[in-house]
Amino acid sequence: VNEIIARKKAGKKLSAEDIQKFVAGATTGDIPDYQISALLMAICFRGMDITERALLTQAMAKSGRQFNFDRVPGLKVDKHSTGGVGDKTSLVLAPWLAAAGRKIPMISGRGLGFTGGTLDKLAAIPGYSIEYSEASLTTMLLDVGCFVIGQTADIAPADKKLYALRDVTATVDEISLITASILSKKLAEGLDELVMDVKCGSGAFMQNLRQARELAASIAATAKSAGVHTTCLITAMDFPLGRFTGNTAETHEAYEFCKPEGKYIETARAIFVDKRRLTAEQALIGPLVEITCELAIAMYDAHAGKSAKAKQVAFADLLAIWSSGALERQFARWVETQHGDLPAFERKASEILSGLQSNSATETHTFISPREGYLTACNSMQLGNLMVDLGAGRKKSTDIVSDEVTLEMLAARGTQLRKGQPIMRVYKKEMSPEQKKQIDAVAAMAFAIGRARPKAAKNILARI
Amino acid sequence: VNEIIARKKAGKKLSAEDIQKFVAGATTGDIPDYQISALLMAICFRGMDITERALLTQAMAKSGRQFNFDRVPGLKVDKHSTGGVGDKTSLVLAPWLAAAGRKIPMISGRGLGFTGGTLDKLAAIPGYSIEYSEASLTTMLLDVGCFVIGQTADIAPADKKLYALRDVTATVDEISLITASILSKKLAEGLDELVMDVKCGSGAFMQNLRQARELAASIAATAKSAGVHTTCLITAMDFPLGRFTGNTAETHEAYEFCKPEGKYIETARAIFVDKRRLTAEQALIGPLVEITCELAIAMYDAHAGKSAKAKQVAFADLLAIWSSGALERQFARWVETQHGDLPAFERKASEILSGLQSNSATETHTFISPREGYLTACNSMQLGNLMVDLGAGRKKSTDIVSDEVTLEMLAARGTQLRKGQPIMRVYKKEMSPEQKKQIDAVAAMAFAIGRARPKAAKNILARI
């Protein structure tokens, strides 16, 4: 192993044998942590090329349980996001693509830090279960077409081992290691295709387009080299995605999204079919709708990105599923199959929403615009961290999260604000005066109010 | 600690607090090995400046037992070498400088790999003891003026910890770490001045002058920053130093060196006083004599390197001590004070030397020149490794060494050889035919025989 470290330190390429030996030894514990961390640090300085990244990804995927859904006919597709604020697209995409005939074996994680986790959002549904045997999962894919379960310790254990060391040795930020960490877990799902949502902006790990492009290119090339076709969309992550942030409210918003009438489908028609200008209410959910639909199109047809015509055809199919009520029914069927009690969940969600709308002094707090101007920018990492502080997210992986705490956006990017106009409000039971002060302080920093109307911003920044 | 690693990884300078925290935590075990090795690897890529090196050196010196000889009047001086083949200079320098009024608190190590260790050479003296209390050491310095003892586990334990990790994480070769490792042990001796013999050539860790200069400059600047004036001599290490390699024979050669008549003092006079051309016999020991005398001069007067006059004055003093018999008496007194039985040792040494001279087929083997030509070069690392294979050195630190196995040089660099002329011979009890074959094979590779007489080579390559 000393020689493997020395080779990488000298800037040489590691062989398949080197990488397999390293990953196997790291997983079993045969290679001591101090050698692992020395190699990780050498990789931070020397990097790995695409072949090495693919070998590392595959070795990590093979380090534990690997699903095999070959028995299930149809294209196995998944979507993965690098993490954002208010991102509930997975909850719409899994049933949508399943209703469109794809098979979606989705394995999700919990949130940590300012980013939310799909699993936390689903945990807000009473009874929803996240652990199944491979036989049950195969049956679900055959019968329902999708599942969303939690990561277990036996999936890519090498990644868990390496991540734990990277976290304490300042070696988290290297792109080969990030790429292999993300893809190893996805490769273990036995996918045919993958769509990656690489978030870019103030509420994402990649804060600028250059970094996001670099990661997207690495993921696409590495996944291809490992045999899984991958489309990467780089999407804007500045304002929270959608109207709500907070586990119950987000899952509720995803369910609302799936319904065949209402503002989500109207907004989608305005963007994709009629190309109309959005109303103020539509503008609030415009980015969520556009990004979700773009991801759905990429999952439905991996080649739709290549022509406007192909994209139009794909979206027409998806819209038909949506407007027919098949998406809503698929959502309900999937949740019920995983033992979720949707009526009970909806009762809980409506309590929270009426709590929010009550504007009760003990449970809600509204941040109002301190002056006249245009809402030009938002730092949603700060809002994400505020949610963590209020109990809706985790500082460390063992924290228990509240699924009631909710942040509602009341103004979209570009909104012309009068002084005192509400920008966002927060719902939390038994909110203290200190918490209200904190909300105001964070929001005052997070939102930028300018004199000039901002230029229209893209939601899809790039496609790789 | 994660932040300390991140700072170094980003190429930033570590603070005194960072370095002290790191060394203290590494010594106590509070900082886990995986963080230590990640930082070591980051240092390999980012380096440390002289201030950081001095802080690291001091923190490592302070991690364990530190000697304080303030009670002993006189300048406390030591010499340290980066390691070579046949290097017995310490055994001459300790008594010589003590006889010249300096105090020499010398702590030495055992040999490992192709380089010999002073402690192994002294262990060839029956009864010689290498462990004493600080009170006894103080008394020895006061009464005798020198001691040569072994390193104990409580001297610079941080260095032992870091070295063990460097050895298995491909982080041995970084100059800041090498500098701190060497100096931390010397600083623990409570020195006023240090002379470093940085070996350069085929039988040294530094194989070229650029590397040797870099290390010498680093040691000199770091030691100065840590408050110990240090002179570095870069000396040639291509042929084994002196006539003999092997623990008993080397110690015997050092004792012979100390005598007030004989070829060593004659050779010194030829080099330093009369500037005469050396005879064939003198040429064999010329490099050992010149390097030992130059080191003695630097230890005697730290500023002697600055002018030919100062050097001449210093050497005149040292030569007077030598020619008066004071050096020989000092050698005997020092060895006897440390309970060494010098007469018993001399009987043992003369057995080996007569064994060598007997040319007995079972105990000696002579390598002869395969052709006519000039002896132009020698790879003494190969000869050092041959000695290890024959049992005279260690492959790992727990190996037991033979102090009988001896390599004697019979021709010096530049010697005009006839075909069949002896170049070196090896003494070992019960030598097997395979070992003789190995000796011939190694020697055939190690010695270069050319058609043209080689240009005169310098023994002192640089002075920093």
- Cα torsion A188, A191, A194, A199 to 10°: value is -30
Q: Does A32 touch chain B (CB under 8 A)?
A: yes
Region B72-96: mean pLDDT is 95
Distance CA A337, CA A335 (A): 5
> What is residue A235's predicted lDDT score, i.e. its pLDDT?
97
Distance CA A336, CA A147 (A): 11
Region A60-84: mean pLDDT is 93
Distance CA B163, CA B172 (A): 8
Q: Does A25 touch chain B (CB under 8 A)?
A: no
* Residues of chain A found within 8 Å of residue B25, distances taken between Cβ atoms: none
Cβ within 8 Å, pair B38-A169: yes
Size of interface A-B (CB pairs under 8 A): 80
Per-residue pLDDT reduced to its tens digit, B249-298: 999 999 999 999 999 999 999 999 999 999 999 999 999 999 999 999 99
Q: Does A304 touch chain B (CB under 8 A)?
A: no
Which residue among B81, B90, B171, B251 is the active-site one?
B81
The answer to whether residue B360 scores a pLDDT higher than 80 is: yes
Beta bridge partners of B374: B416, B450
Minimal Cα distance from A174: which residue of B? B9
> What is residue A392's predicted lDDT score, i.e. its pLDDT?
86
> What is residue B345's predicted lDDT score, i.e. its pLDDT?
97
The answer to whether residue A16 scores a pLDDT higher than 80 is: yes
Which amino acid is it at A276?
Answer: R
Buried b (16+ CB within 10 A) or exposed e, A310-332: ebeebbeebbebbeeebbbebbb
Nearest residue to A32 (alpha-carbon basis) of B38, B369, B393: B38
Q: Can you give the pTM of this predicted structure? A: 0.82
Nearest residue to B240 (alpha-carbon basis) of B72, B80, B375: B375
Cβ within 8 Å, pair B3-A169: no
* Per-residue confidence band for A400, with pLDDT thresholds at 50, 70 and 90: confident
A167 is catalytic: no
Secondary structure in 3-state letters for chain B? CHHHHHHHHCCCCCCHHHHHHHHHHHHHCCCCHHHHHHHHHHHHHHCCCHHHHHHHHHHHHCCCCCCCCCCCCCCEEEEEECCCCCCCHHHHHHHHHHHCCCEEEEEECCCECCECCHHHHHCCCCCCCCCCCHHHHHHHHHHCCEEEEECCCCCCHHHHHHHHHHHHCCCCCCHHHHHHHHHHHHHCCCCCEEEEEEEECCCCCECCHHHHHHHHHHHHHHHHHCCCEEEEEEEECCCCCCCEECHHHHHHHHHHHHCCCCHHHHHHHHHHHCCCCCCHHHHHHHHHHHHHHHHHHHHHCCCHHHCHHHHHHHHHHHHHHHHCCHHHHHHHHHHHHCCCCHHHHHHHHHHHHHHHHHCCCCCEEEEECCCCEEEEEECHHHHHHHHHHCCCCCCCCCCCCCCCCEEEECCCCCCEECCCCEEEEEECCCCCHHHHHHHHHHHHHHEEEECCCCCCCCCEEEEC
A396 is catalytic: no
Per-residue pLDDT reduced to its tens digit, B7-36: 999 999 999 999 999 999 999 999 999 999
Per-residue pLDDT reduced to its tens digit, A301-331: 999 888 899 999 999 999 999 999 999 999 9
> What is residue A62's predicted lDDT score, i.e. its pLDDT?
94
> What is residue B110's predicted lDDT score, i.e. its pLDDT?
81
Nearest residue to B102 (alpha-carbon basis) of B332, B317, B340, B337: B317
% of chain B residues with pLDDT over 90: 86
Q: Which of B1, B7, B9, B34 to mutate to test the interface with A (most CBs of A within 10 A)?
A: B34
A369 is catalytic: no
Nearest to B38 among A1, A6, A40 (CB): A40
* Residues of chain B found within 8 Å of residue A44, distances taken between Cβ atoms: 9, 42
* Per-residue confidence band for B306, with pLDDT thresholds at 50, 70 and 90: confident
B432 is catalytic: no
Q: Which of B8, B30, B169, B173 to mutate to test the interface with A (most CBs of A within 10 A)?
A: B169
A118 is catalytic: yes
> What is residue B77's predicted lDDT score, i.e. its pLDDT?
96
The answer to whether residue B435 scores a pLDDT higher than 80 is: yes
Region B447-459: mean pLDDT is 93
Per-residue pLDDT reduced to its tens digit, A126-177: 999 999 999 999 999 999 999 999 988 889 999 999 998 998 999 988 999 9
Cβ within 8 Å, pair B37-A35: yes
Nearest to A38 among B1, B3, B38 (CB): B38
Secondary structure in 3-state letters for chain A? CHHHHHHHHCCCCCCHHHHHHHHHHHHHCCCCHHHHHHHHHHHHHHCCCHHHHHHHHHHHHCCCCCCCCCCCCCCEEEEEECCCCCCCHHHHHHHHHHHCCCEEEEEECCCECCECCHHHHHHCCCCCCCCCCHHHHHHHHHHCCEEEEECCCCCCHHHHHHHHHHHHCCCCCCHHHHHHHHHHHHHCCCCCEEEEEEEECCCCCECCHHHHHHHHHHHHHHHHHCCCEEEEEEEECCCCCCCEECHHHHHHHHHHHHCCCCHHHHHHHHHHHCCCCCCHHHHHHHHHHHHHHHHHHHHHCCCHHHCHHHHHHHHHHHHHHHHCCHHHHHHHHHHHHCCCCHHHHHHHHHHHHHHHHHCCCCCEEEEECCCCEEEEEECHHHHHHHHHHCCCCCCCCCCCCCCCCEEEECCCCCCEECCCCEEEEEECCCCCHHHHHHHHHHHHHHEEEECCCCCCCCCEEEEC
Distance CA A216, CA B284 (A): 67
* Per-residue confidence band for B173, with pLDDT thresholds at 50, 70 and 90: confident
> What is residue A117's predicted lDDT score, i.e. its pLDDT?
86
* Residues of chain B found within 8 Å of residue A177, distances taken between Cβ atoms: none
> What is residue A110's predicted lDDT score, i.e. its pLDDT?
81
Q: Does B5 touch chain A (CB under 8 A)?
A: yes
Q: Does A165 touch chain B (CB under 8 A)?
A: yes
Measured in residues, chain A has a length of 464
Per-residue pLDDT reduced to its tens digit, B388-424: 999 888 877 778 888 999 999 999 999 999 999 999 9
CB atoms within 10 A of CB B273: 12
Which residue among B186, B213, B243, B333 is the active-site one?
B186
Distance CA A341, CA A345 (A): 6
Q: How far is A378 from chain B (nearest CA, A)?
A: 28
> What is residue A103's predicted lDDT score, i.e. its pLDDT?
96
* Residues of chain A found within 8 Å of residue B161, distances taken between Cβ atoms: none
Nearest to A170 among B38, B168, B169 (CB): B38
* Per-residue confidence band for A402, with pLDDT thresholds at 50, 70 and 90: confident
Q: Which residues contact B311 (CB under 8 A, 6 or more apart)?
A: B297, B304, B305
For chain B, the average pLDDT equals 94
Cβ within 8 Å, pair B37-A37: yes
Which residue among B53, B88, B103, B166 is the active-site one?
B166
Q: How far is B83 from chain A (nearest CA, A)?
A: 23
The answer to whether residue B375 scores a pLDDT higher than 90 is: yes
- Exposure on the CB side of residue A280, measured as CA atoms within 13 A: 8
Per-residue pLDDT reduced to its tens digit, A337-379: 999 999 999 999 999 999 999 888 889 999 999 999 999 999 9
Which residue among B160, B185, B333, B348 is the active-site one?
B185
Which amino acid is it at B427?
Answer: Y
> What is residue A446's predicted lDDT score, i.e. its pLDDT?
96
Are A182 and A172 a contacting pair, CB within 8 Å?
A: no
State whether the Cα torsion B412-B418-B424-B425 is positive or negative. negative
Q: How far is A400 from chain B (nearest CA, A)?
A: 25
Distance CA A142, CA B198 (A): 73
* Residues of chain B found within 8 Å of residue A5, distances taken between Cβ atoms: 41, 169-170
Q: Does B36 touch chain A (CB under 8 A)?
A: yes
Q: Which of A36, A41, A174 to mutate to test the interface with B (most CBs of B within 10 A)?
A: A41
> What is residue A306's predicted lDDT score, i.e. its pLDDT?
84
Structure tokens at B159: 């260095």
Structure tokens at A115: 């980013």
Q: Does B30 touch chain A (CB under 8 A)?
A: no
Cβ within 8 Å, pair B169-A5: yes
Nearest to A37 among B38, B44, B167 (CB): B38
Q: Does B274 touch chain A (CB under 8 A)?
A: no
A395 is catalytic: no
> What is residue B151's predicted lDDT score, i.e. its pLDDT?
86
Q: Does B41 touch chain A (CB under 8 A)?
A: yes
* Per-residue confidence band for B123, with pLDDT thresholds at 50, 70 and 90: very high
> What is residue A421's predicted lDDT score, i.e. its pLDDT?
97
> What is residue B13's predicted lDDT score, i.e. its pLDDT?
97
Nearest to B38 among A2, A32, A171 (CB): A171
Distance CA B195, CA B233 (A): 8
For chain A, the average pLDDT equals 94
* Residue tagged 């807000």 (tokens): A124
Per-residue pLDDT reduced to its tens digit, B320-349: 999 999 999 999 999 999 999 999 999 999
Nearest residue to B200 (alpha-carbon basis) of B414, B65, B381, B50: B381
CA B431 centroid distance within chain: 28
